[in-house]
Structure formats: structure tokens, C-alpha cells
Chains A and B, each alone.
Chain A
Amino acid sequence: MKEIDLSTKLGEITLKNPVITASGTCGYGQELEDYMDLEQLGALTVKGITLQAKTGNPVPRIVETPAGILNSIGLENPGLEGFLADKIKIIKGYQLPVFVNISGYSIEDFVLLAEKLAEISCIAALEVNVSCPNIPGGGLAFGTDPELIYQITKQVKAAYPGSVIVKLSPNVTAISDMAIAAQEGGADIISLINTLQGMAIDLERQKPVFANTFGGLSGPAIKPVALRMVYQVAQKIKIPIIGMGGIMTGQDAVEFLLAGASAVAIGTATLIHPDAPLMIIKEIKAYLQDKKINNIQEIIGKVLN
């Protein structure tokens, strides 16, 4: 039998398979080296960075929900300076494409990050996080306003010569409008979806569990919502989509591909099974084998009208 072709394209970027790690669930890669050969992944998206270092939110930062996780990490990261000093050398060691996720409190933050990272050749793409629900005054505020999404995307594109991914928030009423705004701003790729905003209450203290009150819901619980949004957006935009949200198995991943995603990102699954992305690659391959499909491109967007 012919070798199955799992390769996929995200604009200018070719991935050997469609499986990517989601930002914030794989550190800078090296944390997972004990559990898997990272080079087998399609791409790696490293933990989000901000201009200034952030110590993140107080604990507790995580709560389990039925088939899901609420998190309120608060983007703990070493900041641009720490990233350049300590993390770039890790990324340089990889052969596979590495995406760097960036967050900011203002358009200027995003532009400054883009300018600085433009000088670094080992980064395959920037993922612009306009959707973090866990930082006050930032993130989510941008992701719910199409005009701001358009502005951020346009200005980051002007500052950064490489590929720009815009990661959208699901906490909106019309996701397609956000995706169109990013596309019009010049985005090369869309990531869909970030976490859904939720909350949990501590019955002993009779207070919200999180100091920040709200957290971001991820995991299998949000998969149907993510899938629906990918399906909707795929019908409205021409640029490729990285689908994510509760993908635990190869079957889940195939659903996203059928709905129009050109690649998928694995997040929560990796927190439970550190080698989950590799298992998912195997399961996607097994599905294609079973359906006698030699090229993964045949299933991408197959259920779209």
C-alpha cells in the first residue's frame, strides 16, 4: 500500500503532519522530551509571551469540571527579555516549525513583540493571542472587537515579515466576523478556538475559586463548540485554520479536518497524556488507512457546503 501523505499547508508553512501542540500546554517543548520525540510533531506552539515578565495569577489556578478544565494561569512567562535570553536557544535546536504565541495589553505591546521577534529566524510563525481570558485589561478585550482584531493584525503584519496566526476567542456572538477581520488585517492563518470563559465557586469559602473570578474552559467539554466555530469560519474565509478545542483522539482531530481545519492543535490532552499528540497522529493515520485515503488533503473541509 502507498504511504499515506499526512502533510498539510498553512499558507507558506508546510507541516509533515497536521498535529501541533497548543500554546501553554507544552512549555517550550523540552518539558515533554521525556515523553515523546518532538520532531514527530507537525509543529510546536510554545507558551505565550508578553513584553514584560509575568508571575501569573495566585493559586489555585486550575479546577476540574465534567470532561473539562478551568484554568486561570494568568500567562506566567519570562517576558520578551527572558524569552530571548533563555528560550530561543531551545527553539533553535528543533528541526520542526515552531510557532511563538504573543499576548499584550495594547496594540503597541503586540507591535513591539512582533518587531523584536522579526529578527529571529528560527521562528516559523507568530501566533497573536487576542483571546486570553485570564489577564485583566488585555487579551479577551481585543478578541471581541473586530475593529481591534483588524488593527492588531494589520500592525503586527507590518512589523513582522513572516507568517502571522491570529488566535481567536470563542467568547463572541459572531465568530466569523472576528475571523474575517483578521483575514482583512492580513492574517496568514487563524487559530480556533481559545478557551471558553467560565467560573467555579468554592463552597467552603463561598467565593469564586479563582482570585481572578473567571477562568478558561478547555477539554472535551468544549469540543462541539470549537468544531461548530471551525465549520462556520471555514465557510467564510480563504486562509487556513488550525482547529483546536478538546481534541483528545485522532477521531476528534479528523472531525476538525472534515469541518475545514487544515491542521489541529492538541492542548488539554497533553496535560493528561504527555505523548497524546503522537498518539493522535497515529490514530489519524489509522483512520485514513481504514477509509483507504492516501492523502489527508482529501478530507480537509469535506463536510463544508
Chain B
Amino acid sequence: MFLEVINNQRLASDYYLLVTQSTASAQTRPGQFFHLKIGKKYSYDPLLRRPLSVHKVDRSKGRISFLYRIIGKGTKMLSFYQAGDRIDALGPLGKGFKTDFKNKQILVIGGGMGIAPLYPLVDSLLNSNQVTFLIGGNNQQDLKYFLDFPINSGVIFDAASIDGSIEFKGTVIDLWEKSYSAGFNPDFLFACGPKAMLRRVKLIAEERAIPGQVSLEERMGCGSGVCLSCVCHTNKGNQRVCKEGPVFSLQEVSLE
């Protein structure tokens, strides 16, 4: 299938928002990703596809958006795509977040680029649950897009930055611990972000017996489950981030 570029816009420093038209929007679930072949049809460099998690789905317009950061050759080339260009893509791939909750207190925690895939999740939860959505990043500049993003008024939203350029200075975990843990024991939590952050989330969740899910990132090959490049360890043995993931049970996954 192909994603047609509607807009590919620089947000801040290395951060971009890619809006595409896609027939796959109807079957795309929160937490899933697309695997994009960047470059000309017969170009072998970059050779592999690039996995991008879904940041926003607009079913009425048939649009799927991705947030990405330039970290190498593939994402650099992606940043040159313009409206009207087509991107060869596999997807939606992977298993998404669990979303069948009702009348629950739900905590959603995002760090850095890990914040991006949490928006469709928050969207799908907010009508029948109380959602607290906490995000964190290095500085105000990195978080600007997220801070400006319209959030439903029913969601409790707060942000932290490590350098103190937004009001709460510290990590998103510090924010949770200092401002949102007293008297607040969520029924379920979701997290996406750097491994170090996820490790702390797991530790705290285990202490307080909060069930949850995390979305993992790993160097990926095929995306179809055949190459076994992107495995993680769980109490069920090795699992593939591209196939059984990228969302895993916080209790079952090893983050060492």
C-alpha cells in the first residue's frame, strides 16, 4: 500500500510532522505502526524500511499522521518528502494498546518521542474513563508541539522538562511522583519513552501493583516477524516487537 503525503512539516529543530492520506486509517488502532520504504523505488540506500508509530488518525478524512525526529539517513530523506509524494508502506503493523476500559482511572506517561503514539490512545480512552496524561522531555523547545496540541478538557494534562524551561523541572517520573501520586492510584497505566524511563515506570508500578502496558522501540528489520531482529525478553520467552508488540504487558516484559 501507499501513504500519500498531505503535509510534511518541520515543527522544531529535528522534529517533523508527516500527515498522509491512507485507505488504512479505518483499521488502524492506537499503538500500531507503519513500516515505510523511504527513497526511490529501486534505491538500495537506505535498504530497510523505517518503522513509524501512528501519532494521529483522522478516520473522517482518511488521514494518518506520524511524528518523527531526524536521527539518521532514512529520517533525513523522509524530511524531504513533499505533498503529493507517495510512500510505500506496510501497515498497520503490530498489536496496539488495550483500550477496552470503562470508568477507570488511567495514567498515560510519555517521554521524548515516546509521547507521539500516546495521543490516539488518550483519544480512545477519554470518553469512558478518567485519563491523566503526563509528558516529559529535555526542554520546552522539544515539547513545544505537544504543549500546543489541543487536549480534550476532560483529560488531566501536565508536563515536565529536565532543564526547567517549563514549570516542572525534572523527568516525567518525578512529575508523577511529586504531583500526581498522593491519593491517586490508577487502575491501569500506559507508558512509552526511553528505556531508562520505562524501567522506572515498571519498578514503581510493581511496588504499587498497578497493571499496565508499555510500547517498546527496537532496531527493526522486516516488520513481518521473519527476521527476529527486534526481539525483547518476556516471561513467555522472546517476543518480536514488530509482531507480538510493540505494546507489551508491563508485568511480563523485561526492560533490562
Interface residues of A (CB under 8 A from B): 24-27, 31-32, 34-35, 47, 55-56, 59-64, 66-69, 71, 73, 76, 219-221, 248-249, 268, 270-274
Within 8 A of A (CB), among B200-232: 218-222, 224-232
Chain A CB within 8 A of B29 CB: no
- Say which residue of B44, B229, B238 sits within 8 Å of A248 (CB atoms): B44
Within 8 A of A (CB), among B176-218: 218
Chain A, interface SS category: loop
Q: Which chain A residues border B224 with CB–CB below 8 Å?
A: 31-32, 34-35, 271, 274
Q: Which chain A residues border B45 with CB–CB below 8 Å?
A: 66-67
Q: Which chain A residues border B228 with CB–CB below 8 Å?
A: 24, 47, 56, 61, 73, 76
- Say whether, besides A248-B44, A272-B222, A59 and B230 are in contact (CB < 8 Å): yes
Q: Which chain B residues border A27 with CB–CB below 8 Å?
A: 225-226
Q: A272 to B37, Cβ gap below 8 A?
A: yes
Q: How many residues of B contact A (CB 8 A)?
A: 26
Q: B222 to A274, Cβ gap below 8 A?
A: yes
B127 to chain A, nearest CB (A): 32
| CB closest residue in chain B, given A219 | B47
A300 to chain B, nearest CB (A): 26
- Rounded to whole angstroms, the CA-CA distance of A67 and B44 in the bound complex is 5
- Say whether, besides A59-B218, A62-B221, A271 and B231 are in contact (CB < 8 Å): no
- Output the residue of B45, B46, B237 with the most chain A CB within 10 A: B45
Chain A CB within 8 A of B48 CB: yes
Q: 11 A-B residue contacts at CB 8 Å?
A: A27-B225, A35-B224, A47-B228, A61-B228, A62-B48, A62-B230, A71-B221, A220-B47, A221-B44, A268-B47, A273-B37
A69 to chain B, nearest CB (A): 6
- Rounded to whole angstroms, the CA-CA distance of A73 and B222 in the bound complex is 13
A211 to chain B, nearest CB (A): 13
In the complex, besides A32-B226, A35-B224, 13 extra interface pairs with C-beta distance below 8 angstroms are A31-B224, A32-B224, A59-B218, A61-B219, A61-B230, A62-B48, A67-B47, A69-B48, A76-B238, A221-B44, A271-B48, A272-B222, A274-B226
- Rounded to whole angstroms, the CA-CA distance of A246 and B44 in the bound complex is 11
- Say which residue of A55, A62, A221, A270 sits within 8 Å of B229 (CB atoms): A62
| CB closest residue in chain B, given A64 | B48
Q: B46 to A64, Cβ gap below 8 A?
A: yes
A268 to chain B, nearest CB (A): 7
Q: Which 10 A-B pairs have the closest CB atoms?
A: A62-B229, A67-B44, A271-B222, A27-B226, A60-B219, A31-B225, A61-B229, A220-B44, A62-B221, A274-B224
- Rounded to whole angstroms, the CA-CA distance of A219 and B228 in the bound complex is 17
- Say whether, besides A60-B219, A67-B45, A25 and B227 are in contact (CB < 8 Å): yes
